[in-house]
Amino acid sequence: MKKTAFLFPGQGSQSVGMGLELYEEYVFVKELFDMVEEISKINISKLCFKGPLEELTQTINLQPAITAINLACLTAIQKENITPDISAGHSLGEYSSLCSSGIVSKEDTFKLVFKRGELMHRDSTLHKGAMDAVIGLPIDVVAGLVSDHQNEGIVAVANHNAEHQIVITGEPDAVKKVSSAAVAMGAKSLPLKVSGAWHSELIRNAQKEFGQFINEISFCEPKRPMVFNVTGNIVEDIDKIKATMAQQLCSPVKWFDAMRLLMQEDVEIFVEVGPGMVLTGLLKKILPKDYPCKIYRVNNMKSLEQFFKEVT
């Protein structure tokens, strides 16, 4: 099989009904849901399959929920002895990538994302935040606007998702002013439906506590390379991986850099493993039109069977 990358989505990819087909088809998926529900004490299966969407989208619920679907899809693929050559995950999805790379067990992956969701939820209730997508300007221009508005309040770059698609994060007024400045320069600005200012100083206390929690979790040497959000590069040392994962909460997600690295690594098959199609959409914006590759999504029985049919 050609060089393959598994990509794992994060918050924003959720929908009511996600994962239901896999849950009904495979015993091991039921076992995964039992595991995450035992750890979180939340009825994740009900939220995923029946909603309501507003409750599912609360970060304390959504982080274990998306991770459960990601790992259900991953495990279904692994049952056919298909493994990636390299992996990456977008923000929350990075924890599923840790599991895919053999760095963290499924159980510890759920422990990590549940703790992360608890802490982020706590800080988001203490510090109101907002996030906007700015479309149409390069990263250096958006970063410059953010720098110019530091006196307006806490505001930062949260995600560099594609060349001209950047998410900003921080206090609502400061985010609004940066967005207005971007619009004045010809960009589009879209407010995101989030419950907090992720990847900003507003959740710094969560990052500190989460860093302590990470040190209680067993990490292994990667079985396969993984590209990290904070660096946009491969990290192999266990201590550096732990430090990088702790930093991720308040650091920008360098997704554009990560995908460009996968191109340098000559990846020809990209598989979005989990709900939605956010990462597939970003890939189509990032990859040159003449770049030789195939892009798959695996999130239900039909897409799983199609993937198996074409790659095995």
The residues annotated as belonging to the active site are 91, 199
- Rounded CA-CA distance 248/241 in Å is 11
Burial of 84 (0-12, 13-18, 19+ CB in 10 A): buried
Q: Which two tokens stand for residue 98?
A: 């840790």
* CB proximity list for 52: less than 8 A, separation 6 or greater: 16
SS3 50: helix
Per-residue DSSP letter, 271 = E
From 7, 2, 4, 5, select the one nearest 281 (Cα to Cα): 7
Q: Kindly give the interhelix angle for 59-78 and 106-126, rounded to the nearest 10 degrees.
A: 160
Residue-wise burial string across 24-59, b where 16 or more C-beta atoms lie within 10 A, e elsewhere: eebeebeebbebbbebbebebbebbbeeeeeebbeb
Q: For the chain, count helices (H), then strands (E).
A: 14, 10
State the DSSP string of 153-188.
S-EEEEEEEETTEEEEEESHHHHHHHHHHHHHTT-E
Residues in the chain: 312
Q: From CA 211, how far away is CA 201, in angstroms rounded?
A: 15
